[in-house]
Amino acid sequence: MCLAASRGLTGRQRFTVNQDNSVGLKTELTASATGDVTQSTNTALGVIFTVITSPDSSYAEFWGHMPDTLTVDGVTLHRPLLMKEAPAGATDSRKENNETWVSVYTKADGTIYDMSKNCGGVAGFPAKGVLEKMRDEQIAVANGWPTISLPYVSSTPGTYNYCRVSLAKGGTTHCPTTNNDFTIGYAACLVQP
């Protein structure tokens, strides 16, 4: 890419560089003065192109600007954790949008990596109505949160275990009616003020 520009009265030039097809990488750009055959004015600068599908975390695979929290009807939720951010004992994960996200089981008996070991327990998970609003208004999708591979776990009990809500466009809510009806899902923990 070659960009020609002239400087203003201050001797500085400001411009915006976009890379709309980036996966979140650091790229080196080189600038030089026009007509400098010796290239003595060359200056290299690392430019980071970020993506919304990766958080700004040292554990992320790519440079990102995904918001860590989203607020729905006055309830603030923290994004799911990356597998590398998860506390000890995490066993399941899903890769989505080039990142690996930890998952939790939709039950809380403490025998596996479940709700009792995440978000401070069941009370730290959002009610299914909050998650349904996120889905219906496509809030998570618009902010890059993972929504395709797994549903999100809610604090709303089914007949057995806990309800799960798909945040994907057109997703559904499922509340278990049998004891063995549980699966894994993403955890979006409540942020306490």
What is the extent of the structural domain holding 19? 1-49
pTM: 0.85
Residues 122 and 153 in one domain: yes
Residue 96 to residue 98: CA distance in whole angstroms: 5
Residues 118 and 169 in one domain: yes
Residues 42 and 90 in one domain: no
Residues 127 and 171 in one domain: yes
The most distant pair of C-alpha atoms in the chain lies apart, rounded to whole Å, by: 76
Which residue numbers in the chain have pLDDT < 70? 1-8, 11, 36, 193
The number of distinct structural domains making up the chain is 2
Residue 190 to residue 193: CA distance in whole angstroms: 9
Residues 36 and 78 in one domain: no
Residues 35 and 98 in one domain: no
Q: Which residues contact residue 22 at a Cβ distance below 8 angstroms, ignoring those fewer than 6 apart? A: 49, 50, 51
- The predicted-structure confidence for 110-131, as pLDDT tens digits, reads as follows 989 999 999 999 999 999 999 9
Residue 34 has a pLDDT of 72
- 170 belongs to a structural domain: yes
Residues 115 and 83 in one domain: yes
Residue 128 has a pLDDT of 98
- 175 belongs to a structural domain: yes
User: Which tokens go with 90?
Assistant: 């995490």
What pairs with residue 26 in β-bridges?
48
Burial 131-166 (b: 16+ CB within 10 A, else e): bbbbbeeebbbebbbbbebbbbbbbbebeebbbbbb
Residues 97 and 131 in one domain: yes
- 191 belongs to a structural domain: no
